[in-house]
Amino acid sequence: MVFYRSGRLRRDPSQFARGSLTHGGCYSTIAGGFPAGLPPANPMSKPEISSDAIMTRQHRFATQTVHAGEGPCPVTGALDTPIYQSTTFASANSDDMAAVYGDEKPGYMYTRYGNPTIRALELKMAALEGCEGALATASGMAAISSAILAFVGSGDHVVAARSLYGAAYDFLNHLLPRYGAAATFAGSARMEDFEKSIRPNTRLIYFETPSNPVLEIIDIGALAALARSHRIPLMIDNTFASPVLQRPAGLGVTVVVHSATKYLCGHGDAMGGIIAGPESYITPLSKSILRDFGGIISPFNAWLILRGIHTLPLRVFAQCANAQRIADFLNSHSQVERVNYPGLPGHPGHEIAEAQMKAFGAMISFEVKGGYEGGKKVMDRVKIFARAASLGDTRSLIVHSASTSHRAVPREQRLAIGISDGLVRLSVGVEDPDDLIEDLDQALAF
Ligand X SMILES: Cc1ncc(COP(=O)(O)O)c(C=O)c1O
Active site amino acids:
112, 165, 237, 262
Distance CA 356, CA 214 (A): 18
Residues 146-175 that bind ligand X (CB under 6 A): 165, 167
For 340, list phi and psi in degrees, rounded to 5: -100, 105
CA–CA gap between residue 238 and residue 412 (Å, rounded) = 28
User: Which residue's beta carbon is nearest to the bound ligand X?
Assistant: 140
Residue selected from 45, 50, 64, 212 as contacting ligand X according to rule CB under 6 A: 212
Nearer residue to ligand X within complex by CB, 152 or 241: 241
Query: Is residue 340 part of the contact set for ligand X (CB under 6 A)?
Result: no
**Residue 1 or 186 with smaller CB distance to ligand X:** 186
- Of the candidates 272, 273, 268, the one whose C-alpha atom is nearest the C-alpha of residue 256 is 273
Determine the Cα–Cα distance for residues 63 and 56; give it in Å rounded to an integer: 7
* Separation in Å, CA 89 to CA 85, 86, 109, 353, 403: 11, 7, 5, 46, 47
Binding-site size for ligand X (CB under 6 A) equals 14
**Residue of 45, 139, 209, 356 that binds ligand X (CB under 6 A):** 139
Are 96 and 251 in contact, with CB atoms under 8 Å apart?
no
Selected binder of ligand X within 129, 132, 156, 237 (CB under 6 A): 237
- Cα–Cα distance measured from residue 86 to residue 130, given in angstroms and rounded to the nearest whole number: 30
Task: Note whether 259 binds ligand X by CB under 6 A.
Answer: yes
> CA-to-CA distance for 442 and 228, rounded, in angstroms?
50
Indicate the residue among 9 and 305 with the shorter CB distance to ligand X: 305
Looking at the Cβ atoms of 282 and 399, the one nearer to ligand X is 399
* Residues 66, 87: Cα–Cα separation, whole Å: 27
On the CB side of 78, CA atoms within 13 Å amount to: 10
Does the footprint of ligand X cover residue 206 (CB under 6 A)? no
Taking the C-alpha atoms of residue 357 and residue 38, their distance in angstroms, rounded to an integer, is 32
- Minimal distance in Å, beta carbon 138 to ligand X? 8
Nearest Cα to 140, choosing from 42, 25, 270?
Answer: 270
Q: Which stretch binds ligand X (CB under 6 A): 21-29, 237-245, 312-320, 416-424?
A: 237-245
Name the phi and psi angles at 283, rounded to 5. -65, -50
One residue of 136, 236, 271, 306 binding ligand X per CB under 6 A:
271
Out of 239, 280, 298, 322, the residue judged to bind ligand X by CB under 6 A: 239
Does residue 208 touch ligand X according to CB under 6 A?
yes
C-alpha separations of 132 from 276, 367, 430 in Å: 8, 41, 32
Least distance to ligand X from the beta carbon of 369, Å? 26
Check binding of 261 to ligand X (CB under 6 A).
yes
What is the closest distance, in whole angstroms, from the C-beta atom of residue 73 to ligand X in the complex? 30
The residue among 129 and 208 lying less far from ligand X, judged by its C-beta, is 208
CB atoms within 10 A of CB 39: 21
277 binds ligand X (CB under 6 A): no
| Shortest Å, Cβ 136 to ligand X | 12
Residues near ligand X (CB under 6 A):
139-141, 165, 167, 208, 212, 237, 239-240, 259, 261, 271, 273
